[in-house]
Amino acid sequence: MAPSTVLGRALRMTALAAGLLAAAGAHAQAAGKPDPAKAQKLVDEVCAACHGADGNSSAPANPKLAAQHADYLRKQLHDFKAPEGKAAARPSAVMAGMVTILSDDDMNNLAAYYSAQKLKPSTARNKDTVALGQQIYRGGIAAKNVPACSGCHSPNGAGMPAEYPALAGQFADYTQDQLVQFRAGKRHNSPQMTAIAARLSDVEIQALSDYIAGLR
């Protein structure tokens, strides 16, 4: 790859990260200092049915939220909520109904609550695809201009607070579904992921998702 191409990508990623940081900071300032204890009632009455009281969902279709970066969780909750007269940045028939009752303070508190929980990680299930998943995660696919996932989400899948979510131990089914939604343009709150997922085949997405489930 030409140096100019690499530099251009680096500059675009830096600008995107700065935008995400600014958005997360704005949401945090609007809501004020989080109080995880105040989230307990919402967790018990609304969130726990799908995500578990401790953020460790028992259903592979529902993401594990435990230990996820609070800034990322906060941003996703805001993205699910449609502004007046506009479409939501992250459409979801289920979550759209849930977030309508949430204030900025509620979102702030919920994000802090689930971020403080201990993750009970999922596991990889298909040993036959581990090598392919590892190759994509660590080295990308040069022929398709797919960057290594580890560059943004870190080698161990811990992610980067306020910028990129932690992926390690997430259900393979959920990760696979999100990549497919990015590829199809159904989830569009990350232009970077939309572009990357568009270059991945079904086999590559499945292998990558399963590898991520086993990351620690």
**Residue 16's pLDDT is what?**
44
Quick one: 20 and 86 in the same domain?
yes
**What's the average model confidence in pLDDT over 207-216?**
97
Quick one: 74 and 154 in the same domain?
no
**Residue 19's pLDDT is what?**
45
Tally of domains in the chain: 2
**Residue 161's pLDDT is what?**
87
Quick one: 75 and 133 in the same domain?
no
pLDDT digits (tens, 9 = 90+) for 148-190: 999 999 999 999 987 899 999 999 999 999 999 999 999 999 9
**What's the average model confidence in pLDDT over 104-110?**
97
Sequential DSSP letters for 68-101: --HHHHHHHHHHHSPPTTS--SS--HHHHHHHTT
pLDDT digits (tens, 9 = 90+) for 40-96: 999 999 999 999 999 999 999 999 999 999 999 999 999 999 988 899 999 999 999
**Residue 84's pLDDT is what?**
86
> If you search the block for the tokens 């596991």, which residue do you land on?
123
Residue 194 pLDDT level (bands cut at 50, 70, 90) = very high
**Residue 17's pLDDT is what?**
42
Quick one: 65 and 142 in the same domain?
no
Which CATH number covers residue 58?
1.10.760.10
Quick one: 158 and 197 in the same domain?
yes
What are 54's two structure tokens?
A: 């401790």
pLDDT digits (tens, 9 = 90+) for 12-54: 444 444 444 444 444 444 557 999 999 999 999 999 999 999 9
For residue 37, being part of any structural domain is answered with: yes
Q: Compute and round to an integer the Cα radius of gyration of the chain.
A: 17
Quick one: 156 and 203 in the same domain?
yes
Please give the residue range of the domain that contains residue 24: 6-115
CA 88 to chain CA centroid, Å, is 16
Mark which of 70, 95, 115 sits at the end of a domain: 115
For residue 192, being part of any structural domain is answered with: yes
